[in-house]
A and B are shown apart, each in its own frame.
Chain A
Amino acid sequence: MTLRADHVAGAFFIAFGLLVIAVSGSLPFGNLASPGSGFMPVILSVLLILFGGTLMVRAGESRPFATLTWSDAKHAAMVVLITMLAIAAFEPLGFITANAAMMFALLVVIERRRLAPAAIYSVGVVVFTFVLFVYVLKTPLETGPLGF
């Protein structure tokens, strides 16, 4: 049997539904006439399992899993990694440092741009945005140990 995209997707939703039911044990279910706080989550989990199962049953209509293209996965993983680092640095280092570093890294590491233009662009855009939001629009942004 050929493994198809909807086999994988359906299995994911079934597993997710089962996981939610497993962690919902402490929530009172109530009954049909008087639902508790666990009622809707369990009903929705059952729906996820049912729909996931239907997706798997009718998976023949979907593409073979092996034909899904992952050529953009490396780009996506790099963007996620750099953004993760920027989010982690957002509060300790402040908006300007974290975001300028993120943009610089995206341009240099992923897009292979030259260092000087990338640095000028990153710092310029971030500082302009900071001034725009903080001083013009009066919406404060996170500041770091150096006050920006």
Chain B
Amino acid sequence: METTLHSLYLGFSVALEPHNAWYAFLGCVVGTLVGVLPGIGPLAGISILLPVTFGLNATQAIIMLAGIYYGSQYGGSTTSILMRIPGEASSVMTCIDGYAMAQKGRAGAALCIAAVGSWIGGTFGVLVLTVVAPPLATLAVKFGPPEYTALLVLGLIFLAYMSSTSLIRTLLMASLGLMLGMIGIDNMTGDFRYSFNLAELGDGIGIVPVAVGLFGLGEILSTPSADAVKNVIAPKLRELLPTRKEWREAVMPISRATVLGFIIGIIPGSAHIISSFLSYALERRLSKHPEQFGKGAVAGVAGPETANNAASTGAFVPLLALGIPTSPITAVLIGALMIHGVSVGPTLVNDHPDVFWGFVASMYVGNLMLLALNLPLVSLFVTVLRIPYAYLYPMIIMFCIIGVYETNNSVVDVWIMLIMGVLGYGLRKFEFDPAPLVLGLVIAPILEQSLRQSLIMSNGDYLIFLSRPISLGLFAVSAGLLTLAAISFATKRRDWRATLAEAEAGEVET
């Protein structure tokens, strides 16, 4: 514990250096804007701004990009509450009761509860991360290829199981993503796969063009400007404080969502999205007045908003301790660190303590900055929403092109982004969620390599996965989840996931 506190002191001395604090602030502001603006989610936002960090050192780069990530979770609530438009996917559930509160004249209170809940969720996540990540990194040194294979398989199955759309659709998307991840040189044999004599495809398809295309451009293609005109309910500063009754109603949902969000954040998948859905379902289940949900229940805002921020922080645990990207966003963050010559994994704590602890400490500072930013400056962020969408989306397309091109200075990547944009449009039409596709793309090379390395270790014996306790345990959990899903699938039994899918499709206009 003493070592942790000493390391944290080191972290704060790094995070509070004026330059680093400035980049944390910049990340928080940009992140909030990314969250506020419909059409740019955190993934597209981080991808677009990745090249901007090339001129920074590794610590500044990760501090700024992480600020964008958790800042967008804060910002996403603003449009959800004031316009019933989720700025990004994890804010979908906030739309339901947040907007209902706004219509009752409680927009300020909803924003305040969302901001405070986000701060508590985020800060709790950082606290646990501080304590858990270093010992977990020590344990992770014992992870070999079979354990990594088992963990990645569990991640994919967990994502499919938790999906609110359908198991088959999620597995299809993940398989398609894994397939795209096969493009390029095979690391173990040197064979070119599906590169069609294009040198640029030798290194495979990058996550940035795929993510920006699917989420940024795809969203724009699906949103004609005529459909994007919405009324904005602008709260006054004096209306921001919730009443005592509202605070009381928010306390328990915030507490529950903090723990729930963090735990889900650790598990691979689109954690911040899933956690907000689960938190909403949990609060409705536990509420003495479930009939109030959908009509402005405070718990319907406090729970999801807290959970998505706690999950965003929880997602950093496997990233920092194991070097495993559990979501497309953390994968981009790993990419950013690798560009700066920092290898993410169990050795990060010892090899780059300034980066690790500086980053952790910056999250304490960043969460505080966001709390201070989001409440008083809400009117300013609302102003951004008044820019006509017809003028906004051409600018977003331009930033998509810049972000993708700057990553590798390759126009081929920009073409890939355009193709992915069209694919994203088609997937939306047929009600597929593109997030598992991106996750599949990210983990494809790691999964394939760890599988083949495991088989080399065991002379081709698949029992290696069952003879090691950690991989056996992880595969057992995967099997359990698959069995549960298969029972539900075979009996066509409606469970909480079907209910959530209906809530997402029916109650929320996106």
How many Å lie between the Cα of A20 and that of B510 in the bound state? Answer: 34
Among A27, A41, A44, A68, chain B packs the most CB atoms within 10 A around the CB of A44
Q: Which of A94-118 contact B (CB under 8 A)?
A: 95, 99, 102-103, 106-107, 110-111, 113
Q: Tell me if B397 and A47 are in contact (CB < 8 A).
A: no
Say whether, besides A27-B191, A55-B169, A90-B401, A8 and B430 are in contact (CB < 8 Å): yes
CA distance A86 to B76 in the complex (A): 30
Residues of B within 8 A of A86 (CB): 401
Closest to A117 in B: B391
B452:A41 contact, CB within 8 angstroms? no
What sequence of 0s and 1s flags, for each residue 66-94 of chain A, a beta carbon within 8 Å of any chain B beta carbon?
00101110011001100110110011000
Q: Is B431 located at the chain interface by the 8 A CB criterion?
A: yes
A95, B411: Cα distance in complex, Å: 12
Residues of chain B within 8 A of A70, CB atoms compared: 429
Contact A35 B224 (CB under 8 A): no
Question: B421 — which chain A residues lie within 8 A by C-beta?
Answer: 80, 83
**Cα separation A46 to B481 with both chains bound (whole Å):** 22
Beyond A9-B432, A102-B394, A139-B54, whether A76 also contacts B189 by CB under 8 A is no
Query: B178 contacts the other chain (Cβ, under 8 Å)?
Result: yes
Chain B residues contacting A34 (CB-CB under 8 Å) are 455-456, 460
Q: Chain A 1-43 against B: per-residue CB contact (8 Å), 1 yes, 0 no?
A: 0000110110001001000100100011001111111101100
Name the A residues within 8 Å of B168 (CB-CB): 51, 54-55, 58
B178→A44 contact, CB < 8 A: yes
User: How far, in angstroms, from A44 to B441 measured CA to CA in the complex?
Assistant: 12
Which of A47, A87, A106, A133 has a CB less than 8 Å from the CB of B411? A87
Interface residues of A in 113-144 (CB under 8 A from B): 113, 121-122, 125-126, 129, 133, 137-139, 141-142
Contact A80 B455 (CB under 8 A): no
CA distance A113 to B399 in the complex (A): 21
**8 Å CB contact of B222 from A76, A91, A138:** A76
Contact present for A48 and B398 (CB under 8 Å): no
Q: Which A residues lie within 8 Å of B399 (CB)?
A: 129
Q: Count chain B residues whose beta carbon lies closer than 8 angstroms to a beta carbon of A.
A: 60
**Chain A residue contacts of B217, Cβ below 8 A:** 83
Neighbouring B residues of A20 by C-beta, 8 Å: 179, 194
B390 an interface residue at 8 Å Cβ cutoff? yes
A16→B194 CA distance, assembly (Å): 14
Q: Which of B189, B444, B456 contacts A37 (CB 8 A)?
A: B189
Query: Bound state CA distance, A27 and B460, in angstroms?
Result: 20
User: Which of A51, A76, A87, A139 is B172 in contact with, Cβ under 8 Å?
Assistant: A51
17 other A-B residue contacts (CB within 8 Å) besides A79-B221, A141-B406: A8-B430, A13-B172, A32-B460, A33-B455, A38-B193, A44-B182, A45-B179, A48-B172, A51-B168, A51-B172, A70-B429, A75-B224, A80-B422, A83-B418, A87-B415, A90-B414, A125-B395
Shortest beta-carbon contacts, A-B, top 10: A33-B460, A37-B186, A76-B221, A37-B191, A111-B390, A75-B224, A103-B394, A106-B394, A51-B172, A9-B430
Some 21 contacts from A to B, beta carbons below 8 A apart, are: A6-B430, A31-B460, A34-B455, A36-B191, A37-B189, A40-B178, A44-B178, A51-B171, A51-B175, A68-B430, A72-B224, A83-B401, A83-B421, A87-B401, A90-B405, A90-B414, A103-B394, A110-B225, A122-B394, A129-B398, A139-B54
Q: Taking beta carbons and an 8 Å cutoff, which residues of A are in contact with B?
A: 5-6, 8-9, 13, 16, 20, 23, 27-28, 31-38, 40-41, 44-45, 47-48, 51-52, 54-55, 58, 62, 68, 70-72, 75-76, 79-80, 83-84, 86-87, 90-91, 95, 99, 102-103, 106-107, 110-111, 113, 121-122, 125-126, 129, 133, 137-139, 141-142
